[in-house]
């Protein structure tokens, strides 16, 4: 069974409390002389002690026969904690014994032996420490047995949770036994190509003799690359679950220590444990934390990280792979990894984990919807179609948000409307009921959103409008227009990009046309339009002036996809001018479309103002309806 860090810390705290209580008991029972340190000791002469004994004023007394040590006694009627000390004169033992016998005092008499004080001092000083070490060693053995270590050794660093190095050389990897992994390829959807690539690894771990007969070698490492939330950790567990082998899981950040050399020690310990449990899967998440490229000068200022990387390179290149150890690593920044880590012989296979397509999104939704009680009919295809670019984690969150909404509304089953609303929650946030717009602001937002919708509906190849709302959201949006593609698209033409730019400009154009003023509501539209227009010129080669010339490079392709210009300053100025012209043309086109449909703009904006949320069907019905007061359109 696996013992997690919380349970280990709890056991260690319990051990410290027990040991402390035991130490107090030993002080009081076995070492009563320690009590002297807590008393006020006053000097008294030998004759004074004799007088007190004769007059029966002594209450308690400690006296050792046969030594020159002091006698300690307390008097009746004195305050607690006050004692008197005197030195027993040599040869007076017999006389003192007679006085003690005649006295009614409570006297403890002991026989002195050679070096008794020395041995007592050593016992008092080192006894508790020895007890601490023995109990710590015993607890360490118990913990190692609980974690599956068949050969527990005396390791005081981990037994004391910090004493003698703090266990910093231990890898800290979470070990999941083969029977407890609980994840197989059936639990992974939307990553069929990755599953096919990893099935060979599973087959090799199950039947290595088939591959050894032909001379094939098991891949030492598999690198999973892809955006966050695509299931890299999940598919690594599925490999271990399918093969029925133990699963070691550790994050790259757990190798980072404040002491130089500790990270490398953790790497050594991780692979030592893996060899003992082979065949097994070793999963290192976020490997870019320790696997970043080393600089050429050798003065990176981070010796700890580089030593950890060097140790990882050595371990991956040095272990005997016949035992069946597969290192699976995950990262969303493969461009930052060191080339020595990516060469064949270390990470032999690179498996991309891309965002799922339409069929993949539907399969992921079906897996997560199995655990939720639903009320038919449920159309998960519509949800998948409305979530292009969503990762597996996003889709799982959408299903969960739909179930939570059903509970909030007092239902015991989730409906289609719950999942549709959860799509909007993930995209734009929850409805912000505390935000109350004035009548004028509500009118501006209505015209703004209808401006987007009319321009979108005027495009021949554009995605149809499915929903328009002016209900504020927690993301900061005061309203939005949702468009959903009917089919999955992987290529976009230049005309489609220009149409999309016109749709972005539709909101601001409607404000200018109706109110003759500008508001801050178009901030996100402007940002998206500028980014798309710049990509047209720098990445897509859709400019007559620059043609097929790459003017920028994408950084962090799996994260924010920032583009940095790789051109001269003069060329960058020309790029800015070209971007401005493309956006200006799109804005002028949007204005022209809205002028031609000004009556529909007023009609639809008033309708949206009253209902606040309308569907795409309602919008298209009003958009296509002929107005009897308008002059008939000339025949084409």
Active-site residue, 488 included: no
**Torsion sign (Cα): 541, 545, 549, 552:** negative
- DSSP states along 562-619: EEEE-S-HHHHHHHHHHHHHHHHHHHHHHHHHHHHTHHHHHHHHHHHHHHSEEEHHHH
Structure tokens at 261: 């050399």
Burial of 113 (0-12, 13-18, 19+ CB in 10 A): exposed
> Which helix (H) or strand (E) covers residue 248, if one does?
strand 247-251
284 secondary structure, DSSP code: E
The C-alpha atoms of residue 227 and residue 355 are separated, in whole angstroms, by: 7
Among residues 257, 449, 511, 512, which one is catalytic?
A: 449
Give the count of alpha carbons within 13 A of 344, CB side only: 2
Asked if 174 and 2 touch (Cβ cutoff 8 Å), the reply is yes
**Torsion sign (Cα): 69, 75, 78, 80:** positive
Rg of the chain (C-alpha set): 40
> Which helix (H) or strand (E) covers residue 366, if one does?
helix 358-369
- DSSP states along 38-98: GSEEEE--HHHHHHHHHTT-EEEEEEEETS-PEEEEEETTSPTTEEEEEEPPTT-HHHHHH
Read off φ and ψ for residue 321, nearest 5 degrees: -80, 0
The C-alpha atoms of residue 114 and residue 625 are separated, in whole angstroms, by: 116
Structure tokens at 49: 């002690």
Q: How big is the CA angle at 258 (ends 257 and 261), to the nearest 5 degrees?
A: 65
Give the count of alpha carbons within 13 A of 501, CB side only: 26
Helix 116-146 to helix 5-29 angle (10° resolution) is 160
| C-beta neighbour count of 586 within 10 angstroms | 25
Residues 6+ positions from 235 with CB-CB distance below 8 Å: 188, 191, 194, 195, 198, 224, 353
> N- to C-terminal Cα distance for the chain?
78
Cα 194 vs. chain centroid, distance in angstroms?
23
Structure tokens at 200: 């060979």
| C-beta neighbour count of 405 within 10 angstroms | 19
By DSSP bridging, strand 349-352 and strand 325-331 are unpaired
**Residues designated as active site:** 449
């Amino acid at each position: 069974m696996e013992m997690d860090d919380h349970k280990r810390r709890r056991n260690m705290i319990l051990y410290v409390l027990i040991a402390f209580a035991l130490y107090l008991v030993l002080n009081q029972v076995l070492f009563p002389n320690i009590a002297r340190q807590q008393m006020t000791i006053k000097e008294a002469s030998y004759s004074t002690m004799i007088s007190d004994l004769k007059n029966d004023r002594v209450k308690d007394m400690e006296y050792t026969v046969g030594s020159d040590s002091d006698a300690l006694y307390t008097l009746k009627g004195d305050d607690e904690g006050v004692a008197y000390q005197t030195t027993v004169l040599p040869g007076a033992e017999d006389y003192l014994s007679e006085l003690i016998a005649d006295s009614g005092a409570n006297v403890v008499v002991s026989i002195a032996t050679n070096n008794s004080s020395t041995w007592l001092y050593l016992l008092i000083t080192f006894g508790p420490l020895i007890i601490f070490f023995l109990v710590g060693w015993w607890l360490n053995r118990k913990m190692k047995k609980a974690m599956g270590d068949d050969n527990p050794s005396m390791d005081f660093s981990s037994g004391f949770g910090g004493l003698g190095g703090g266990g910093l050389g231990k890898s800290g990897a979470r070990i999941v036994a083969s029977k407890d992994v609980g994840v197989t390829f059936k639990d992974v959807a939307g990553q069929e190509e990755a599953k096919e690539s990893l099935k060979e690894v599973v087959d090799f771990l199950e039947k290595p003799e088939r591959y050894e007969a032909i001379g094939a070698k098991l891949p030492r490492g598999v690198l999973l690359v892809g955006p966050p939330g695509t299931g890299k950790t999940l598919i690594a567990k599925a490999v271990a679950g399918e093969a029925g082998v133990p699963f070691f899981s550790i994050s790259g950040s757990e190798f980072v220590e404040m002491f130089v050399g500790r990270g490398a020690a953790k790497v050594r310990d991780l692979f030592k444990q893996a060899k003992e449990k082979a065949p097994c899967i070793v999963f290192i998440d976020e490997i870019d934390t320790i696997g970043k490229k080393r600089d050429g000068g050798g003065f990176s200022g981070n010796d700890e990280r580089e030593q950890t990387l060097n140790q990882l390179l050595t371990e991956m290149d040095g272990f005997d792979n016949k035992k069946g150890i597969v290192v699976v690593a995950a990262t969303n920044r493969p461009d930052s990894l060191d080339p020595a880590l990516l060469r064949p012989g270390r990470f032999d296979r690179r498996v991309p984990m891309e965002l799922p397509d339409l069929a993949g999104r539907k399969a992921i939704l079906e897996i997560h919807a199995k655990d939720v009680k639903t009320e038919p009919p449920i159309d998960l295809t519509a949800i998948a179609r409305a979530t292009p670019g969503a990762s597996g984690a996003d889709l799982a969150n959408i299903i969960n948000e739909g179930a939570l909404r059903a509970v909030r509304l007092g239902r015991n089953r989730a409906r289609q409307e719950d999942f549709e609303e959860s799509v909007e929650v993930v995209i734009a946030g929850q409805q912000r009921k505390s935000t109350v717009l004035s009548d004028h602001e509500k009118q501006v937002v209505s015209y703004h959103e209808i401006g987007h919708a009319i321009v979108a509906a005027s495009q021949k190849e554009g995605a149809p409008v499915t929903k328009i709302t002016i209900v504020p959201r927690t993301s900061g949006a005061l309203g939005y227009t949702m468009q959903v593609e009917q089919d999955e698209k992987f290529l976009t033409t230049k005309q489609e990009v220009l149409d999309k730019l016109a749709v972005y400009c539709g909101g601001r154009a409607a404000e200018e046309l109706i109110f003759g003023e500008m508001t801050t509501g178009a901030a996100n539209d402007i940002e998206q339009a500028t980014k798309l227009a710049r990509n047209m010129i720098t990445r897509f080669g859709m400019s007559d002036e620059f043609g097929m010339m790459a003017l920028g490079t994408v950084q962090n392709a799996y994260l924010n996809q920032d583009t940095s210009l790789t051109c001269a300053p003069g060329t960058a100025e020309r790029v800015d001018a070209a971007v401005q012209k493309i956006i200006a043309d799109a804005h002028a086109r949007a204005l022209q479309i809205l002028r031609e449909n000004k009556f529909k703009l007023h009609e639809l904006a008033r309708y949206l103002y009253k209902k606040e949320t309308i569907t795409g069907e309602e919008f298209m019905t009003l958009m296509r309806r002929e107005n009897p007061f308008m002059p008939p359109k000339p025949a084409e």
